Structure 1
Amino acid sequence: MSTSEARPADASEETTGDRWTPIREMPPSAKLVAKVLDYEDTMTQSQLAEETLLPSRTVRYALSRLEDADAVDSRFSFTDARKRIYTLTI
């Protein structure tokens, strides 16, 4: 009976894991940025740099890798058109 209880938990972990498949082989900085975006709905590059304690150049590289994998979507900010707002799409 305990084995049947363990199987649904394993199945749910596999389903959850599939969501992160596009970024599994990415650098740690990209994974960190993705995880922060998972907790926060939308953030700018400067907010991500402040939250992750990564240099802005590293955050920019991580975001470009995530965008290439279609894991992140970006749009212009309505309050400041010079900034882009990033959202996790996976």
Structure 2
Amino acid sequence: MSDQIVLTAKTAPDAVDETPPSAKLVLTVLAHEGSLTQSRLAEETMLPARTVRYALQQLEEHDLVDSQISFADARQHVYSLNDDRFAKADARE
């Protein structure tokens, strides 16, 4: 199996259940594509930027994603899955 994290009901933290559908979509895209900026997430999910912003806020509140300042453009953040949070979920299996 590849190193990609597969989000399923069995491996995803319980906090995922508490997020809106848009947040689940953003989480799935991050799992498949890796680290992305908010604008890139909007393109990939085909959601409005405001919806992506809200989804990311929800995911950050539940500690499901990490953000770092982009090296390419310091005005943007790059979002990725919180590997520690998902590693704990995988260890529960």
| TM-score class, shorter | 0.7 to 0.9
Q: Where in structure 2 are the equivalents of 1:56-75 lying within 5 Å?
A: 56-75=49-68
CA RMSD of aligned residues (A): 1.5
Structure of higher CA gyration radius: 1
Percent identical pairs in the alignment equals: 55
Normalized against structure 2, the TM-score is what?
0.76
Q: Aligned pair count?
A: 76
Which residue of 77, 89, 92 maps to 1:84? 77
Normalized against structure 1, the TM-score is what?
0.78
2:38 alignment partner in structure 1: 45
1:54 alignment partner in structure 2: 47
Deviations 1:20-63 (A, max 9, x none): 42111211000000000010110000000000000000000000
Unaligned runs of 5+ in 2: 1-7, 87-93
Unaligned runs of 5+ in 1: 1-14
Higher helix residue share: 1
1:5 alignment partner in structure 2: none
2:19 alignment partner in structure 1: 26
CA distance in 1, matches of 2:79, 2:65: 7
| Higher RCO (C-alpha under 8 Å, 6+ residues apart) | 2
CA distance in 2, matches of 1:57, 1:35: 18
Note closer, same or farther for the CA distance 1:28–1:16 as it changes in structure 2 (3 Å cut). closer
